[in-house]
Amino acid sequence: MSQERPVIAEFVDVHRHYVMGKDNIVRALNGVSMQVAKGDYLAIMGRSGSGKSTMLNILGCLDRPTSGEYRVGPESRAKAEYLADRVGLGKRLEHRPLELSGGQQQRVAIARALMNDPLFLLADEATGNLDSNTEREILDLFDDLRKDGVTIVIVTHNPKVADRADHTLWLRDGKVEKLVDNRQAASSGGGA
C-alpha cells in the first residue's frame, strides 16, 4: 500500500474479542496494525474465522475494537467531531447508539448525512416519533442548516413541520396536486 497517498484508515494494534458465554472468549483480531491509503484496492483474505468480517466491520464503523486504535480519515475525525458539536452531540461522541435518546439518534443521522457535503439533506419523517420539545430542537437545527446553505428535503405528515419549509409540494395519487410557497402564504396570513 502506497505511502505517497494520504492514509484514510489505520489500525494500530487492534484487538477485537467477543465473550460467548461465561468462559468462552473468541479472539477475532489480535494486534492487527495496517494502513489503507486513498485509492488503494485492498483484498482481505483468510480462512473462515480468521477475522475478515470483523476487520471489515471495524473499517466500516459497524463495530469497535476491544483495544487498540482505529483511525479513519486524516481530516474525517475532525469533521465528524465538528458535525457532532454542530448538532449538539459534542459531549456524546463516545456513546453507542443504544445509549442515545431518539432525538440524539436523529441528530447523529443528520450529522452522518452531512459528513460528505451532500447536495441536499433528505429526511423522511425526521420528527415523527419525537416529543414536541425534541421535534422543535430538530426543526431549529434544520433552520440553522438552511441558513448555512444546506438544501433540505423533508417528508412529513405534520403540517407544522411542513410550514417551516420554504415550499410544500402536495402529492395525490402519485401526482403533484399543488406546490405552495410557504413564505408567501405566511406573509399573506393564509395557510396551505
**Identity of residue 58:** I
Q: What sign results for the dihedral spanned by CA atoms 21, 22, 26, 29? A: positive
Instruction: Tell me the C-alpha distance between 63 and 69, whole Å.
Output: 12
Per-residue confidence at 75, pLDDT binned at 50, 70, 90? low
Return the CA Rg of the chain. 22
**Identity of residue 111:** A
Report how many domains make up the chain. 2
Do 15 and 52 lie in one domain? The reply is yes
Q: What is the pLDDT of residues 140-171, one digit of tens each?
A: 888 888 888 888 888 888 888 888 888 998 88
- Please tell me the predicted confidence (pLDDT) of residue 65: 93
Residue span of the structural domain in which 124 resides: 77-157
Q: Is 183 domain-assigned?
A: no
Per-residue confidence at 185, pLDDT binned at 50, 70, 90? confident
- Residue carrying the nine cell digits 410557504: 182
End residue of a domain, out of 19, 40, 74: 74
Do 63 and 85 lie in one domain? The reply is no
Q: Which residues pair with 172 in a beta bridge?
A: 175
Do 84 and 143 lie in one domain? The reply is yes
What is the Cβ-side half-sphere exposure of residue 67, based on CA atoms within 13 angstroms? 5
Do 56 and 119 lie in one domain? The reply is no
- Please give the backbone phi and psi of residue 29, each rounded to the nearest 5 degrees, phi first: -130, 140
Query: What is the bridge-based pairing of β-strands 121-124 and 152-155?
Result: parallel
Q: What is the pLDDT of residues 36-64, one digit of tens each?
A: 887 778 788 878 888 998 998 888 777 88
Q: Is 121 domain-assigned?
A: yes
Do 85 and 31 lie in one domain? The reply is no
pTM of the model: 0.55
